[in-house]
């Protein structure tokens, strides 16, 4: 999710002019040039993050609710651990 949000920010011409916590936000310096090129002019691109949550244990859970909760929690934890700088 955060990756999609970052791509949306890059696509906006206002992204580099925004301020976060009093500091200018320069998203382009934190994103691979390939991603910027592929998303220029509002284009969309799919990509896979290098570090992904292991969702395989969800298959062994008994109910759909437990599976969904496991997946949500695993994705949330991974995003907080790997995308903190983007989220800040």
Per-residue pLDDT tens digits for 31-40: 778 888 888 8
Query: What is the model's pLDDT at position 9?
Result: 45
5: closest CA among 68, 23, 25, 72? 25
4: closest CA among 49, 70, 68? 49
Instruction: Say which residues have a Cβ less than 8 Å from residue 21's Cβ, sequence separation at least 6.
Output: 88
Q: What is the DSSP letter of 88?
A: -
Instruction: Tell me: do 42 and 80 sit in the same domain.
Output: no
Count of domains observed in the chain: 2
Instruction: Tell me: do 43 and 56 sit in the same domain.
Output: no
Q: Taking the model in full, what pTM does it have?
A: 0.48
Instruction: Tell me: do 36 and 57 sit in the same domain.
Output: no
Domain that holds residue 2: 1-47
Instruction: Tell me: do 38 and 2 sit in the same domain.
Output: yes
The string of pLDDT tens digits covering residues 17-73 is 444 455 555 666 777 788 888 888 988 887 667 788 999 999 999 999 999 999 999
Instruction: Tell me: do 62 and 34 sit in the same domain.
Output: no
Tokens linked to 50: 């290098």
3: closest CA among 41, 30, 22, 37? 30
């Amino acid at each position: 999710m955060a990756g999609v949000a970052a791509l949306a920010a890059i696509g906006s011409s206002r992204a580099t002019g925004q301020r976060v916590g009093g500091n200018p936000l320069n998203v382009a310096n934190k994103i691979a040039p390939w991603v910027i090129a592929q998303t220029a002019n509002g284009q969309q691109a799919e990509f896979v993050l290098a570090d992904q949550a292991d969702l395989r244990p969800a298959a062994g859970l008994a109910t759909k609710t437990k599976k969904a909760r496991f997946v949500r929690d695993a994705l949330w934890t991974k995003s907080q651990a790997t995308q903190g700088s983007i989220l800040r």
